[in-house]
Structure 1
């Protein structure tokens, strides 16, 4: 499966695609690391546990384009595939998710295109995460390209659940037996309860710490 190159597109080859989107990921990752360091300096607390990033493979992009009825060209890929560059931010508590999202939103050179809050409105499968589609400018020698990056923010527990759900989805090609789907939904409820209890416990510990200061 190959992507055809259209010479009138802003990005003209797969090599240039990987260059631009890898650069966008580096920028977002660096911003998040700086914000995390600043938060540690000001509040003596790190909201971000770790960061993962990836570039979608050309095979996955072609499948996605075909699934939505688009020809497999570089131009269509850049225009219609929003998750070519993906970054996942893992944090400890649900309160951190919205704190991190606000910090990203307040960056002057990041433009937020859309928000999907699957924490307030989980998917039927039980999936929870906070998704932001943003653009960040990538400065090349002869032009500036606004590259799209999908940012997913979730707790460690949410990420553990999503990782298992992803494996099951591909194992059964999206058609897992009903009892397994139901078990996953039950696990999602347990994850939500665990996140809530851990957040409550953390707040109690912090309040005790404030009283002792």
Structure 2
């Protein structure tokens, strides 16, 4: 009984590290969302979803890989125990978020798989990153791997339905259906390109209106509260620009 309790404590502590890594990463994402919203009046991140593999799922994967059943072996061979999916509005946002994460001094991009530039044969598109995330435990610091998948709404829609269609489907999929699935992925990619083009055009029109009107540049909004920029600060900006 004592041995079982010791093992239970070990596996709980092991999984807690991955949970803490996810919590830390989600906090960073929330800060990036708010910062981008305040500075650009636009949020590139539509939503996030995290998950932690169950002990049973971890054991099944380690068996499929033919690796030793030990905590060091699991850490070395399974990089997706903790997973975070980030859904964006546009393809350019995907790479912007990747760069934002890469610029965090305590995060390390350990691995990148770009299924947008190189889609899978079935049409699947997404950017996969393995991040090294520091976790501070009571007696030590650990660096934990978290898999991050970044995709657009259209990519996520396609991937979710593809999973539902073929979940637990053990038969060989007819070539005709595979071709239709690939065509649906191509349509989703075309939609992404069209919506991004429209987004850029609207942004240019909005920027032009602001430059002509000028009133929008004299206020800032933080936490839904509007603040006027004092005239003295605006004068400092004018002076600074005059000295350039």
Shared fold per TM-score greater than 0.5: yes
Cα deviation digits, residues 123-146 of structure 1 (max 9, x gap): 111010011101111000100110
> Which residue, out of 188, 192, 201, partners 2:189?
192
Deviates more, 1:104-113 or 1:15-24: 15-24
Q: Describe the superposition over 1:87-127 as per-residue Cα deviations: whole angstroms up to 9, x where unpaired.
A: 00001100100110000000000011011111001011101
Q: Residues of 1 paired with 2:184 and 2:10: CA distance?
A: 43
- Please, which runs of 5 or more residues in structure 2 have no aligned partner? 211-244
Q: Matched residues in 1 for 2:178 and 2:168: separation?
A: 13
Q: Superposition pairs for residues 15-164 of structure 1, below 5 Å? A: 15-164=12-161
State the 1:174 CA deviation: 7.2
Please report the RMSD computed on the Cα atoms of aligned residues, expressed in angstroms: 1.8
**Greater helix proportion:** 2
CA distance in 2, matches of 1:156, 1:21: 26
Q: Distance in 1 between matches of 2:206 and 2:144?
A: 43
Report SS of the residue matched to 2:138. Answer: coil
Aligned length, in residue pairs = 205
Larger radius of gyration between Structure 1 and Structure 2: 2
The corresponding residue for 2:231 is none
Greater RCO, 1 or 2 (C-alpha within 8 Å, sep 6+): 1
| Aligned-pair CA distance for 1:156 | 0.7
TM-score by length of 2: 0.80
Aligned equivalents of 1:110, 1:17: Cα separation in 2: 20
